[in-house]
A = this chain, B = another copy of it.
């Protein structure tokens, strides 16, 4: 148990409370590797705003450490960012990762992870973690869903179609067992396209679920974020944002985007949402996106992103570079002695040629997946570093212009 009350939306770093007896014992036993662990309450500090856009630099403080924003969160669905060890992630400079409640709930089970002291200890990653609520996966992976006011009944995609039921309260209980630093309200992510009527009906239910999540959450030291829904309807987005702020959360996510709509519509929905969110709290654009999306999102005031794109593409042999995409299986790279991106400083580009990586992919060698993942995540994390630096220096627009100009092919 962590001491100290957990207020909503406070932008203030409390004085750390004196360590509890448990903490003292744990420290003596060496269980707590991070000296800040269990001492910091969640907070967000807005450090700098760009002069001609909504771009901003900030800092999130969590029980497992600090996160500089805008931040990209690598996706570690099953308590591992696929192919990487925690030391790989640390070397890449990842400050926070996302893990999927739906998957961990099914396997190995949240109670097992609770026994191990939470996902950080379970996977040996002593830094911040965010878990989603499972809602997105229930609506995209599971079968035979039945939505009621109470929650969702579904058949899982892995355990022989066993039936499960998740309510807002249960989603919070599972996430409290998983122990991530930031947890998410349980929401419905509606299909695209959906009618306005369904978007509104679903939105209102998701708002009632959000309130139930807020009420169900114990003083676990975890931050709880609400999720703005509302389909592709600006007025529903506003309605959702206003109502969530009224309930009060530690941060706000923009959900239900990058589900098939065009880029202009996605950017419009971000613009229809962000102005209605508190400036002094973090804003998280869920499941987005391409490098260009990250730049456009930051420009519109987003602080946090997650997406499987860099990791999944890497495992398909598609690499992000400053000049567009490299599909490493192409015959043109057979005898190519250059690294994936000659301007990249990642471990892969410092050590391996395109020809060697192409050979590994063609030969079905597992090392290819890791080396590609290292490169793509480095590219994403480096892009975020570049954006943070340019905002701090007041040159975000120049950064954006230069970044887009160099990329010959748009990744989409």
Contact = CB atoms under 8 A, between A and B. Distances in A.
Given A107-B362, A108-B362, A370-B370, A351 B124 contact: yes
B112 A351 contact: no
B352 A124 contact: yes
Given A355-B112, A359-B79, A367 B85 contact: yes
Nearest to A351: B124
Interface string A331-345: 000110100000000
Interface size range of chain A in the complex: 35 or more
B363 A83 contact: no
A366 B82 contact: yes
Q: Report how many copies the assembly holds.
A: 2
Given A85-B371, A371-B85, A334 B112 contact: yes
A86 interface: yes
A82 B370 contact: no
Nearest to A125: B351
A370 B374 CA distance: 15
Given A334-B112, A335-B115, A371-B85, A78 B365 contact: yes
Interface in A309-348: 334-335, 337, 347
Contacts of A79: 356, 359
A335 B85 contact: no
A79 to B, nearest CB: 7
B355 A86 contact: no
Nearest to A123: B356
A373 to B, nearest CB: 9
Contacts of A86: 351
28 contacts: A78-B360, A78-B363, A82-B365, A82-B366, A83-B367, A83-B370, A84-B367, A85-B347, A85-B367, A85-B370, A103-B363, A107-B362, A107-B363, A108-B334, A108-B355, A108-B358, A108-B362, A108-B363, A112-B355, A115-B335, A116-B353, A116-B355, A122-B355, A122-B356, A122-B359, A124-B351, A124-B356, A366-B369
